[in-house]
Amino acid sequence: MIDHNPLWGAELDHIRLDTADPSKTAAFYRDAFAMSEKSLADGSTLLQGEERRLIVGSGIAGDQPYSAFRFADETRLAAYRAHLTAQGMNLMPSPTPLFSDGAFAVSDPDGRQMVFGVIDPAQDNGGSPEGHPPHPPGRMQHVVVATADLAAMMAFYEDTLGFVATDHVLRDDEDGGQTLTAVFYRSTREHHSFAMFLSDAARPDHHAYEVSCWNDIRDWADHMATLEIKLWWGPGRHGPGNNLFFMVEDPDGYKVEISAELENMADDDPVRQWPHNERSLNLWGPGWMRV
Ligand SMILES: [Fe+2]
């Protein structure tokens, strides 16, 4: 299955976050996640560190209008473009300045864009931000959304885009049936690069930076402490993904995660099922229940 999946190998490169106060939000990410800050030609701000970057723009507070996934080279990108075109997908111009010519976007059923492209070397500093002391690593690794229409979103992300389902979370209903409340998707061996939670409305959920070990999580938490940024959830360990984590909130209340030990899957691993309860979301303690 995965050998013939044209999405396979695509990795999350960056996302865009919108806010009513871009300078405040950019300063938060610059300081909290040890990134450099640079103004872009379209008026947005690029935050960039080692293996992590995001764009902060002016807009609705907490909105996350697109997620950008990169392919390793132009050949893979062209094959993926052909795969979507063959399905009659409407390909739109790429909204990100960080990918080379040839990048494109598609709109999901909730109106959020998924962007696919190849890194433009001119927009990649490839290293630690100048003027910052060394920090633990933190690779932008996954992005998660909430939706009120899980069926339509699953059809789009699985059948059209080609994301591979790793884990399902299922709630037992009073009538004896079950309702799917979360789906975790992979596009590489890592447990998930994208996920979605059932909610009462479409909204951004969180994104995550993957670090190398538990001690990195300690060091990032100590770093947050020096800035008097309280941990919002965790530390804990998720059921799906088995990753260690904590989360903080940005100035708009959008959640950001530091993660370690995210599970790697075998290509032929079947979809697993988890019960909809606090323990699935956090084996160590309280869960963040979206519904
Ligand atoms: Fe996460």
> What are the pLDDT digits (tens) for 48-82?
999 999 999 999 998 999 999 999 999 999 999 99
Q: Which CATH class is domain 139-281?
A: alpha beta
Q: How far, in Å, is the centroid of ligand 1 from the Cα of 238?
A: 9
For 241-263, write each residue's pLDDT tens digit.
999 999 999 999 999 999 999 99
Q: What is the C-alpha to C-alpha distance for residues 161 and 5, in angstroms, rounded to an integer?
A: 9
156's enclosing H/E stretch is none
Q: How far, in Å, is the centroid of ligand 1 from the Cα of 232?
A: 13
**Other CB atoms closer than 10 Å to residue 57's CB: what's the count?**
19
Residue 146 has pLDDT above 60, yes or no: yes
Q: How far, in Å, is the centroid of ligand 1 from the Cα of 143?
A: 7
Residue 195 has pLDDT above 90, yes or no: yes
Q: Are 231 and 258 in contact (CB under 8 A)?
A: no
Q: How far, in Å, is the centroid of ligand 1 from the Cα of 134?
A: 24
Q: How far, in Å, is the centroid of ligand 1 from the Cα of 149?
A: 20
Q: Report the chain's mean pLDDT, rounded to a whole number.
A: 95
For residue 198, list its beta bridge partners. 147
Q: Mean pLDDT lowest for which of 34-43, 124-133, 257-266, 280-289?
A: 124-133
- Topology alike, domains 2-123 and 139-281: yes
Specify the pairing of strand 255-260 against strand 244-249: antiparallel
Q: How far, in Å, is the centroid of ligand 1 from the Cα of 96?
A: 23
Q: How far, in Å, is the centroid of ligand 1 from the Cα of 191?
A: 11
Phi, psi for residue 249 in degrees, rounded to 5:
-110, 140
Residue 51, Ramachandran bin (φ over 0: left; ψ between -120 and 50: alpha; else beta): left
Q: How far, in Å, is the centroid of ligand 1 from the Cα of 258?
A: 8
The CATH architecture of the domain made up of 2-123 is Roll (3.10)
Q: How far, in Å, is the centroid of ligand 1 from the Cα of 51?
A: 17
Q: What is the pTM of this model?
A: 0.96
Q: How far, in Å, is the centroid of ligand 1 from the Cα of 175?
A: 31
Domain boundaries, the chain: 2-123, 139-281
- Report DSSP letters for 79-135, one per residue: HHHHHHHHTT---EE---TTB-TT-EEEE-TTS-EEEEE-B-GGG---SPPTTPPP-
For 74-120, write each residue's pLDDT tens digit.
999 999 999 999 999 999 999 999 999 999 999 999 999 999 999 99
Q: Where do we find the tokens 């864009």?
A: 113
Q: How far, in Å, is the centroid of ligand 1 from the Cα of 192?
A: 9
Residue 26 makes CB contacts below 8 A (sequence gap 6+) with 37, 45, 47, 56
Model pLDDT, residue 130: 59
Q: How far, in Å, is the centroid of ligand 1 from the Cα of 206?
A: 7
Residue 270 has pLDDT above 80, yes or no: yes
Residue 221 has pLDDT above 90, yes or no: yes
Model pLDDT, residue 125: 65
Instruction: With H, G, I as helix, E, B as strand and everything else as coil, classify residue 226.
Output: helix
